[in-house]
Amino acid sequence: MSAPSLRVLLAPRLLAARTALRRSRAKVAILTLVTAAFWSGSFVFFERTLSYFQTITALGPMLTQRLLVMLFVSFFAVLVISNVVTALTTFYLAPEVRLLLAAPIPSRRVHDARFIETTVASSWMVLLFGLPAFLAYGVVYHAGPLFYLGTVATLVPFLLIPAAIGVLVTTALVLAFPARRARDVLVVATVALAAIGYLTLRLVRPERLASPSDLAGFAAFLAAFEAPAAWYLPTTWAAEVLIPLLGARPGEPLFYFALLALTAFVLYLASASVVQRIFLTAWSRAQEGRTRARRAPLLGRVLPRLTRPLPRIPALLLAKDVTVFFRDASQWSQLLLLGALVVVYVYNFSVLPIDDGTPLAATLRDVVAFCNLGLAAFVTASVAVRFVYPSVSLEGRAWWVLRSAPVSIATLWWSKFLVAFLPLTVLGEVLIVVTNRYLGVAAGLTLVFMATLLFVIAAIVSLGLAFGAAYPRLDSNNAAQIATGFGGVIYMVTCLGLIAGVIAIEAWPVARLFWQRVGASPLAPIERTLVAIAFGIAFVLTATVTEVGRRSALRSLAALQP
């Protein structure tokens, strides 16, 4: 009897993907459209940027080449993190590993199958984000077919290197910690890195680079990217293959390609060799559970007291959800991103040039103040997609506990609604108040914004529960993963549509109130009525969306099967 081939080992994933594609054609069509739109937008952005750089005589070529290195550096960093996280699942946490271990399959072949799966699962992002950029380079430089062939050839070892590093790091992690703890460590580290990266990028104030007078800063910015272009990094080798093929400058593409390919091969062999020798030991270690919990954990003691003022069912659900939230690293780590988002949001307003007394500054302040309503609503929707939308899915297979209890679906909905609505309202309203203070917006107008936002948040939460119940992923216990699914994307698009609708309805009345404030033109009685009607329409729209969302959620929740 011969051992099963790689094709047999990869068949379950391929067949599952094929079935998913066949079953949900509408979903595939929408995703294809979204991807095509993203690719087109991304291509246009890179093409314009690179073309613009080419017009800067002295710095242009250096900038485009530096940008290519930066692209490879960013991709490589994300690929290493992504591969480590994916390898943990594919090698040590996936339930089918047990089956593979029990089957008469050489461990080398198990490694190869899992390695391919890890690489593919981790690298789709590079294809999605990278291809339009590489294509734009080819178009701007009028590159020949050799560049495109070279890009494909370079990407293969470029993707294999982080995959091998991912498997090796994961195996070391699993030997050091139990798999569940290792996953928590990875999740928190990844989210913290993303939050720090986001904060750093914003706080260095890249907008200063647009100022032609700030050449010193510009030079410093370029210099900052000298370090990652070190000769010993695969990112530099990859760029050194493509830059000569673009015809940007002479180089030794074959040498750097050989370096890249050889490194990928050696790392792959190292990964295979390590896994072959210690896979069973590492996998056995990965099965160990957490250490024992302390007696009467703090959350369990404190939460029932804190939730006592609430009605029974919302209090129970709140206590349960908060407890689970703070014990699940994939959930609480999202707070790091949220914190970064809020800091950057408020910081953006603090650095706006609105105090120089010029008419332009006053206009800018008014425009920004108006946009602030939409921006605060957008931030709230971004938070909702990570916290409200997954809340139904996170009930998981334990959904039967709530459904078989003597609690109506309507009560469950209200509980989930309140649990999400209250903190989101506090967040949104605080953002509006703080940023409007920076902008010097009148108290009356701030109150109008706060009232509008209150209704918008109610609609956002209601939509979150509706989409969350319509696209449940009861098998997934990763909130971030749930949020990035198809339903999450549709939910976010719907929220953006709602926010745009409310802003469009309130644009004229808010503009009139601004003008009245600066004394340009007082409101006529008929205008007062029209302003009131416009606000009324906005409230009716949000209230209607809230109710439609509620009804849709109730239907989906009633049909939801654990």
- Whole-angstrom distance, CA of residue 504 vs CA of residue 374: 10
Write out the binding residues for another protein, residues 8-37 only, by CB under 8 A: none
Closer to another protein by CB, 88 or 368: give it: 88
Taking CB under 8 A as the rule, which mask of x and - marks residues 243-272 in contact with another protein?
------------------------------
Binding residues for another protein, rule CB under 8 A, total 36
Stretch that binds another protein, among 114-122, 240-248, 274-282, 292-300 (CB under 8 A): 292-300
34 CB burial (10 A radius; 0-12, 13-18, 19+): middle
From the list 363, 400, 493, 507, which residue makes contact with another protein (rule: CB under 8 A)?
400
Q: Determine the residue type at 479.
A: A
Report which of 170, 187, 169, 184 is spatially closest to residue 283, judged by C-alpha positions. 170
Q: How far is CA 117 from the centre of its chain?
A: 22
In whole angstroms, the minimum distance from the beta carbon of 325 to another protein comes to: 9
DSSP at 94 = -
Angle between helices 179-203 and 253-286 (to 10 degrees): 140
Taking CB under 8 A as the rule, which mask of x and - marks residues 440-479 in contact with another protein?
-------------------------------------x--
Closer to another protein by CB, 30 or 310: give it: 310
Closer to another protein by CB, 315 or 492: give it: 315
In whole angstroms, the minimum distance from the beta carbon of 19 to another protein comes to: 18
Closer to another protein by CB, 309 or 406: give it: 406
Closer to another protein by CB, 179 or 457: give it: 179
DSSP at 293 = P
Closer to another protein by CB, 493 or 558: give it: 558
81: its two tokens: 């993190």
Report which of 288, 485, 327, 476 is spatially closest to residue 395, judged by C-alpha positions. 476
Stretch that binds another protein, among 89-97, 102-110, 134-142, 291-299 (CB under 8 A): 291-299
For 93-144, where are the alpha helices, taking DSSP H only?
A: 96-102, 107-140
From the list 297, 311, 353, 497, which residue makes contact with another protein (rule: CB under 8 A)?
297
In whole angstroms, the minimum distance from the beta carbon of 313 to another protein comes to: 7
437 contributes a contact to another protein by CB under 8 A:
no
Closer to another protein by CB, 402 or 469: give it: 402
- Whole-angstrom distance, CA of residue 526 vs CA of residue 512: 12
Closer to another protein by CB, 289 or 519: give it: 289
Cα angle for residues 388, 36, 479 (degrees, 5° grid) = 20
Q: Determine the residue type at 16.
A: A
Q: Determine the residue type at 473.
A: R
From the list 40, 273, 281, 408, which residue makes contact with another protein (rule: CB under 8 A)?
408
Write out the binding residues for another protein, residues 300-329 only, by CB under 8 A: 300, 312-313, 316, 319-320, 323-324, 327-328
From the list 309, 406, 519, 522, which residue makes contact with another protein (rule: CB under 8 A)?
406
From the list 217, 396, 485, 501, which residue makes contact with another protein (rule: CB under 8 A)?
396
From the list 402, 424, 441, 505, which residue makes contact with another protein (rule: CB under 8 A)?
402
What is the Rg, in whole angstroms, of the alpha carbon atoms belonging to the chain? 27
Asked whether the beta carbons of 65 and 223 are under 8 A apart, the reply is no
Closer to another protein by CB, 230 or 296: give it: 296
- Whole-angstrom distance, CA of residue 143 vs CA of residue 386: 42
In whole angstroms, the minimum distance from the beta carbon of 318 to another protein comes to: 11
Closer to another protein by CB, 428 or 472: give it: 472
Q: Which residue has the tokens 């920004």?
A: 368
Taking CB under 8 A as the rule, which mask of x and - marks residues 172-211 in contact with another protein?
--------x-------------------------------
- Whole-angstrom distance, CA of residue 122 vs CA of residue 166: 10
The total number of residues shown for the chain amounts to 562
292 contributes a contact to another protein by CB under 8 A:
yes
- Whole-angstrom distance, CA of residue 487 vs CA of residue 555: 16
How are the residues of the chain apportioned to helix, strand and coil, as percentages rounded to the nearest 5? Answer: 85, 0, 15
Closer to another protein by CB, 59 or 398: give it: 398
Asked whether the beta carbons of 457 and 424 are under 8 A apart, the reply is yes
From the list 405, 430, 511, 518, which residue makes contact with another protein (rule: CB under 8 A)?
405
315: its two tokens: 């209090």
In whole angstroms, the minimum distance from the beta carbon of 327 to another protein comes to: 4
Closer to another protein by CB, 195 or 318: give it: 318
Stretch that binds another protein, among 57-65, 234-242, 400-408, 421-429 (CB under 8 A): 400-408
Asked whether the beta carbons of 419 and 461 are under 8 A apart, the reply is no
From the list 293, 298, 443, 526, which residue makes contact with another protein (rule: CB under 8 A)?
293
Q: What residues contact residue 286 under an 8 Å CB cut-off, 6+ apart?
A: 92, 93, 174, 178, 179, 182
- Whole-angstrom distance, CA of residue 276 vs CA of residue 224: 41
201: its two tokens: 């990028």
- Whole-angstrom distance, CA of residue 471 vs CA of residue 474: 9
From the list 13, 108, 202, 403, which residue makes contact with another protein (rule: CB under 8 A)?
403
Q: Determine the residue type at 86.
A: T
In whole angstroms, the minimum distance from the beta carbon of 211 to another protein comes to: 50
Asked whether the beta carbons of 487 and 467 are under 8 A apart, the reply is yes
Write out the binding residues for another protein, residues 48-87 only, by CB under 8 A: none
From the list 104, 289, 519, 525, which residue makes contact with another protein (rule: CB under 8 A)?
289
- Whole-angstrom distance, CA of residue 122 vs CA of residue 448: 46
From the list 302, 398, 507, 540, which residue makes contact with another protein (rule: CB under 8 A)?
398
> What are the φ/ψ torsions at residue 219 (nearest 5 degrees)?
-65, -40
Query: Which residues are near another protein by CB under 8 A?
Result: 180, 289-290, 292-297, 300, 312-313, 316, 319-320, 323-324, 327-328, 396-398, 400-408, 477, 558-559, 561-562
